[in-house]
A and B are shown apart, each in its own frame.
Chain A
Amino acid sequence: MNMKKVLLILGVLLATATMLFSAGQADKAVETGPSKVSMYANITAIEPILERYKAESGVEVEYTRLSTARYVSTILTEVEAKKLVADVVQGPLPVLEILREYGVLSNYKAKAMEGYPDWAKKDGIHLFGIEYVGLIYNTDLVSAAEAPKSYMDLTDPKWKGHIVMPDPGAHATTITWLVGLRENVFKSDAEWYRFLEGLAKNEPMLVASFSPTANPLASGEKKIGVSMPKYIVTKAPAPLDYAKISPMLGSPRAIAITKDAPHRKDAEAFLEFWLGKSAASQLANDVGEYVLAPGVYPPIPGIAETEVIPIRELSDEEIQKWGTEFGKIFALK
């Protein structure tokens, strides 16, 4: 029996593979300069901003994208194994608050927060934007005059079969948004329920999250949807616009520095840059984000006049309770 030989062959194969791989990685090694900042983020399409930062400061920002669903569990796993390499973490506010509870965050206060609203300044956590949600419609199929003037207009039977939205029985941000409507828009539970039931009666197509709402809207498969106004920017020239309803609601986007950041100084510098006007403008202009930096708005007509307010964060128990409730209301069967 010559298992050794087999293992040897496998070993040689592995070695060859490694060589192949390191050849492919050679250019990457050159890229990696001495100073870099590791950023874990759930915000998307921010590469141009990071590139500009590198060009300006020489510091490379290594961007690890973590979706919200994977965020807490990944970071806590790494913390537990003492392998967290993140200097800067960016995510929804409730997520960062959990990380703070676990003692992952430092309480560094960025100077660039001057001029930001007071509610955006939280012990070590900096709110820099709102992941705003609105009613987005296809301008080829719906004229501005036909577009809803209020949230309740969405219950109009003319929209039956023409709506797309994330599943309110499953998608946390959408659940929060619906509860936010009750607290900020509708006057009574009865009115709110009328809205929910009316919306359900219009048989919206339910998708997994916001990102798959964009295609059906752009292609005209659906006329209107509960979606994100930023797609008007990122999907341009797709025929998209948003219903001008005030207020628009959204979850706050937050950013912080980790307690044991391996590149603390660079991380602080980067955070100041991120919260500063130029980065915020780029975020608004290129990605269509709604930022809190004073006077900066995304290039969507009318958005500066629209009130965009942060939703109260729900506890997990609340999310699950309402998720189940909405699941029943929106159940088709």
Chain B
Amino acid sequence: MEKRNARLTYSLIVIVSLLTVAPVIMLVIGSFSNNLHSFGNFTLKKYAAVYTDPMLIDILGDTAAFVLGSALFATVLAIFLAYLNNRTDIPFKFLFKIVSVMPMMIPHVLFAVSWALLLNPTNGILNMWLTRLFALPKAPFNIYTIPGMIVVEGLLDLPVAYLIISPAMGSFDATLEESSRVFKAGPLKTLFRITLPVLRPAIMASFILCVVRALASFAVPSVLGMPGRIYVLSTFIYRVVSMSLIADYGKAAAIGMSILVISISLIYVYRYYTRASDKFVTVSSRGFKPSVVELRKGRIPLFIIVLFISALLILLPVVVLFYTSLVPYVMVPGAKAFAAMSWDNWKTVIKDPISVRSLKNSLFLGIAGATVGSFLSVLVAYVIVKVKTKAAGVLESISFLSFSFPGIVIGIGFMWYFVRTPLYATIWALFFGYIATYLPYGIRPMTSAFIQIHGSLEESSLVCGASFTTTLRRIVLPLLVPGFVSAWILLATMFFRELSISVVLSRPGTETLAVQILRFSEDGQWGKLSALGLIMIFVSTAMVLAVNALGAYFKPGAVREKKRVGIKPKLKAAV
């Protein structure tokens, strides 16, 4: 048993290292190299140059505020939505699935630009509307501020948080809560004293993942931060790179190293606080008891809040995109804009061979990449949760390696790495680059799901003569379905709109959607960009809905779903 686990651990370490450690090593070499490409004489010059920048202190402060703020915002919102969806009788639950994954499908730059159009202090559509409505002396909101950035980044990271917290919330052993209710704690007190603390691993995982993501995020800091002259580490990297015609990515890598150190330490902190994860085993063979908290009077107000969030997340950006896709250039809505509307942008995009090819490529990368990535994640998550040796800790950290680098930097790392392999300039470079970089998106939901499967469920399968793979196939995977679906969706939607790596590794023939969108944006063709962006959102929504349906079909206990009605009276008595 242990031998097998050790063998599995080490083979995974090798596989994951090939994916994630190699590009990072290239970056480390590059950051110490006295040359523009990765290999050259040793120098500390690059570190000296970036770490003595007088702006650095301010940047670090703003980075901390932005990163912690957005991670907190995303996690709290995710807990709120996941709780309402999984544990209460709030109406229209399907909304939650959509709300929570929607931002995954919108390219981040488009999302940020939409918000700039809505809330810029000069002529932001919402600002102008509010000013007129309440006769305000000046625009009430300014999106080009740290709070503005926090809200937008938080909304963008919400899916990550939700997809990690929701499965854990859904498979929570209700008796833990019921016993708290019996001991005179109200539903709210139970939530804060029992539910949330027991869900600590999932909540911490989500928070840390959001922190790491926000550290690496570029779209929001560049679109909303730079106009407000707020620099964070990722835009600082951009500054270092763009302050010269011959961009020195060694310097960028040197800054990236500190982000890497922060991320890796966070992961160790996370491991430390969840090391007793046995305590958190909440699904055993007796689990899957649904318990529903009745919201009573709170039902409608809470639903309205959710509706409002959905409107913010889905409706506004999509409507803004749809609007820009119809007008010839970005214009404030009005009679003039209405007169100029046409389907021209859509027609051009649908006929554009590169756009069509990029759609095909992204579909392939999204579906195949997410599938392979999810299976790899199952194995890695298994080792992280169930093996718990030092080597498993190493595996967990290295799986985060390329993920924790800012996109601009890691893309270059992959270029330096893949150029030495036959993968370079093929679609497989993107394929493996994606999996390597976004592996934590697969691993995180899977580990939270794994933590909740009692070890004896697998062990009994082994004793029953099932091989490791049979056990995985017949016991572990079916029980993991909710986690697997989350992971797949996170990976697929991420791959579908991936930009940072694609922009470096994509070549003629291997264009991806985001690269094509970037092209339109560089050409200033916002109409076409919005049209393609919407096509992208439609396709990935369809993809997510299909997988969700599949997941619901295979969900453990799904057979029983209909009979749940029979338990209801009992539950009422308990509440």
A residues whose Cβ falls under 8 Å from a Cβ of B: 1-3, 5-6, 9-10, 13-14, 16-17, 20-21, 24-25, 28, 38, 44-45, 47, 62-65, 67-74, 76-78, 80-81, 83, 85, 92, 94-95, 98, 161-162, 167, 169-172, 175, 205-209, 211-212, 214-216, 218-222, 231, 234-238, 313, 316, 319-320, 323, 327, 331-333
* Choice from B227, B238, B329 contacting A237 with Cβ under 8 Å: B329
* Choice from B360, B375, B519 contacting A10 with Cβ under 8 Å: B375
Contact across chains for B419 and A83 when beta carbons are under 8 A apart: yes
State how many angstroms separate the Cβ of A224 from the closest Cβ of chain B.
12
B122 close to A (CB within 8 Å): yes
Closest to B340 in A: A237
On chain B, the residues within 8 Å of A25 by CB distance are 360, 509
On chain A, the residues within 8 Å of B243 by CB distance are 170-172, 175, 319-320, 323
* Choice from A81, A94, A172 contacting B242 with Cβ under 8 Å: A172
B507 close to A (CB within 8 Å): yes
* Choice from B330, B357, B504 contacting A215 with Cβ under 8 Å: B330
State how many angstroms separate the Cβ of B119 from the closest Cβ of chain A.
11
Contact across chains for A206 and B36 when beta carbons are under 8 A apart: no
State how many angstroms separate the Cβ of B235 from the closest Cβ of chain A.
8
B239 close to A (CB within 8 Å): yes
| Contact A3/B427 with A24-B360, A237-B340 known, Cβ cut-off 8 Å | no
Taking A1-B7, A2-B468 as known contacts, 15 extra A-B pairs with beta carbons closer than 8 A to each other, sorted by chain A number, are A5-B467, A6-B375, A13-B371, A45-B523, A72-B247, A74-B415, A78-B419, A172-B245, A175-B243, A215-B526, A219-B332, A220-B332, A237-B328, A319-B245, A333-B58
Alpha-carbon distance A189/B467, docked complex (angstroms): 80
Alpha-carbon distance A232/B144, docked complex (angstroms): 27
On chain A, the residues within 8 Å of B412 by CB distance are 70, 73
| Contact A74/B7 with A13-B371, A85-B425, A212-B223 known, Cβ cut-off 8 Å | no
Alpha-carbon distance A14/B431, docked complex (angstroms): 10
Contact across chains for B419 and A170 when beta carbons are under 8 A apart: no
Contact across chains for A72 and B113 when beta carbons are under 8 A apart: no
Contact across chains for A207 and B509 when beta carbons are under 8 A apart: no
Q: 4 nearest interchain CB pairs?
A: A17-B368, A238-B329, A1-B4, A24-B360
Closest to A61 in B: B508
* Choice from A24, A95, A171 contacting B361 with Cβ under 8 Å: A24
Alpha-carbon distance A180/B374, docked complex (angstroms): 53
B132 close to A (CB within 8 Å): no
On chain A, the residues within 8 Å of B447 by CB distance are none
Contact across chains for A2 and B415 when beta carbons are under 8 A apart: no
* Choice from A21, A77, A238 contacting B331 with Cβ under 8 Å: A238
State how many angstroms separate the Cβ of A222 from the closest Cβ of chain B.
7
B residues whose Cβ falls under 8 Å from a Cβ of A: 4, 7-8, 11, 36-39, 55, 58, 113, 117, 120, 122-124, 144, 222-223, 226-227, 229, 235, 238-239, 241-249, 328-332, 340, 354, 357, 360-361, 363-364, 367-368, 371-372, 375-376, 379, 412, 415-416, 419-420, 424-425, 427, 431, 467-469, 472, 503-504, 507-509, 519, 521-526
On chain B, the residues within 8 Å of A71 by CB distance are 247
Alpha-carbon distance A74/B412, docked complex (angstroms): 8
Alpha-carbon distance A220/B337, docked complex (angstroms): 13
Contact across chains for B229 and A331 when beta carbons are under 8 A apart: yes
**24 residue pairs bridging A and B, Cβ less than 8 Å apart:** A1-B8, A9-B375, A17-B367, A20-B367, A20-B368, A24-B360, A44-B519, A68-B245, A68-B247, A73-B36, A73-B249, A73-B415, A80-B38, A161-B122, A170-B238, A170-B243, A206-B227, A211-B521, A214-B524, A219-B331, A220-B123, A221-B123, A221-B124, A234-B523
Alpha-carbon distance A209/B331, docked complex (angstroms): 20
Interface centre among B243, B361, B425, B507 (most CB of A within 10 A): B243
On chain A, the residues within 8 Å of B376 by CB distance are 10
| Contact A215/B247 with A2-B469, A80-B37, A80-B39 known, Cβ cut-off 8 Å | no
State how many angstroms separate the Cβ of B505 from the closest Cβ of chain A.
10
Closest to A95 in B: B245
State how many angstroms separate the Cβ of B471 from the closest Cβ of chain A.
10
Contact across chains for A21 and B36 when beta carbons are under 8 A apart: no
Contact across chains for B247 and A69 when beta carbons are under 8 A apart: yes
Interchain pairs with CB closer than 8 A, number? 203
Closest to A327 in B: B55
Closest to A47 in B: B354
Alpha-carbon distance A149/B519, docked complex (angstroms): 34
On chain A, the residues within 8 Å of B372 by CB distance are 10, 13-14, 17
| Contact A170/B37 with A10-B375, A215-B113, A220-B332 known, Cβ cut-off 8 Å | no
Contact across chains for B238 and A238 when beta carbons are under 8 A apart: no
Closest to A6 in B: B469
* Choice from B113, B238, B332, B425 contacting A208 with Cβ under 8 Å: B238
Alpha-carbon distance A223/B246, docked complex (angstroms): 33
Alpha-carbon distance A286/B408, docked complex (angstroms): 31
On chain B, the residues within 8 Å of A20 by CB distance are 364, 367-368
| Contact A207/B227 with A9-B375, A64-B507, A72-B246 known, Cβ cut-off 8 Å | yes
State how many angstroms separate the Cβ of B37 from the closest Cβ of chain A.
5
Alpha-carbon distance A146/B519, docked complex (angstroms): 34
Alpha-carbon distance A332/B379, docked complex (angstroms): 51
Contact across chains for A211 and B522 when beta carbons are under 8 A apart: yes
| Contact A238/B328 with A14-B372, A85-B425, A221-B123 known, Cβ cut-off 8 Å | yes
Alpha-carbon distance A13/B368, docked complex (angstroms): 8
| Contact A2/B357 with A73-B247, A77-B37 known, Cβ cut-off 8 Å | no
State how many angstroms separate the Cβ of B33 from the closest Cβ of chain A.
11
Closest to A316 in B: B244
Closest to A161 in B: B122
* Choice from A2, A62, A207 contacting B226 with Cβ under 8 Å: A207
On chain A, the residues within 8 Å of B238 by CB distance are 170, 208
Alpha-carbon distance A322/B214, docked complex (angstroms): 30
Alpha-carbon distance A190/B400, docked complex (angstroms): 52
Alpha-carbon distance A228/B519, docked complex (angstroms): 17
On chain A, the residues within 8 Å of B354 by CB distance are 47
* Choice from A2, A162, A169 contacting B239 with Cβ under 8 Å: A169
* Choice from A98, A211, A332, A333 contacting B246 with Cβ under 8 Å: A98
Closest to A234 in B: B524
State how many angstroms separate the Cβ of A10 from the closest Cβ of chain B.
6
Contact across chains for A316 and B246 when beta carbons are under 8 A apart: yes
On chain A, the residues within 8 Å of B39 by CB distance are 80
Contact across chains for B508 and A63 when beta carbons are under 8 A apart: yes
On chain A, the residues within 8 Å of B242 by CB distance are 68-69, 170-172, 208-209
Contact across chains for A1 and B58 when beta carbons are under 8 A apart: no
Closest to B239 in A: A170
State how many angstroms separate the Cβ of B391 from the closest Cβ of chain A.
16
Contact across chains for A234 and B364 when beta carbons are under 8 A apart: no
Closest to B5 in A: A1
On chain B, the residues within 8 Å of A83 by CB distance are 419, 424-425
Contact across chains for A234 and B525 when beta carbons are under 8 A apart: yes
Contact across chains for B523 and A44 when beta carbons are under 8 A apart: yes
Closest to B467 in A: A2
Contact across chains for A235 and B524 when beta carbons are under 8 A apart: yes
Closest to A240 in B: B329
Contact across chains for A70 and B504 when beta carbons are under 8 A apart: yes
On chain B, the residues within 8 Å of A167 by CB distance are 226, 239
On chain B, the residues within 8 Å of A313 by CB distance are 245
Closest to A38 in B: B508
| Contact A81/B424 with A28-B357, A238-B329 known, Cβ cut-off 8 Å | yes
Alpha-carbon distance A163/B507, docked complex (angstroms): 37
Closest to A76 in B: B37
Contact across chains for A219 and B469 when beta carbons are under 8 A apart: no
State how many angstroms separate the Cβ of A82 from the closest Cβ of chain B.
9
Contact across chains for B508 and A64 when beta carbons are under 8 A apart: yes
Alpha-carbon distance A218/B92, docked complex (angstroms): 40
On chain B, the residues within 8 Å of A14 by CB distance are 368, 372
